[in-house]
Amino acid sequence: MTLAHATARGEGKSQGNFCPPTLTSTGKPEWLPDPPNALWRKMPSALWVGNTLRVGAGPTWLPQLCRPPVPIKHESLAAAAPERVELVALEYDILRTSLRRLGRLMHPDRDPDLARKQAKRDLDAGREVLHSDGVLPWAAYPRGVLVAGWRQDARFCAAVTEWREAKFTPIPSELQRVERLQTLEREVALSLQQQGT
């Protein structure tokens, strides 16, 4: 089962009109420009949960602003499970997967209510990490909490303009992070290949 099959959350709350994005062949959102020398953040696209592989359906790359990180409140959770908290934020905010479903997928061995509460903590930590690291759209909003209609919001548009005009030099920690995610993707490909044979 993949996270891609998640249903949109309801409960009468408007989260904007963002549908799962159309992606380019490189995994970048098609609706965003791809200026030369722009900084793109490699996002987790798969995650091992126990002995089960969870494969996400979101963008592989998202724009990242060139700015120093800001302190975050959920630092211990973010440090313990960085890919999980980022994937939860991506799935909830971009692909509109419900917290209940994310709880069941990410914490299958827990009581459903406790799993949903843990998914909420993961979401809060993931939003803060992505905001702190300058990843759009979270970087445009305090603590990474997106507003309804964020794609048309002036703060998001200003952040995209800032990103398009910036020049960057990759830093060693980001290169290590990308290498770690690429290793995970190779493991995923190998696992899927072995399941097919």
Residue 2 in domain? no
How many domains, the chain? Answer: 1
Residue 77 in domain? yes
Quick check: helix, strand or coil at residue 22?
A: coil
Which of the two residues, 4 and 39, has the higher pLDDT score? 39
Residue 32 in domain? yes
Residue 101 in domain? yes
pLDDT computed for residue 151 by the predictor: 85
> For the chain, what is the mean pLDDT?
74
Residue 164 in domain? yes
Residue 130 in domain? yes
Distances (CA, A) of 52 to 107, 147, 183: 11, 33, 17
Identify the domain containing residue 75 by its residue range. Answer: 24-178
Which of the two residues, 103 and 45, has the higher pLDDT score? 103
Residue 90 in domain? yes
Q: What is the pTM for the complete model shown?
A: 0.69
What's the rounded Cα separation, in Å, for the pair 134 and 26?
Answer: 21
112 pLDDT more than 50: yes
Amino acid at 9: R
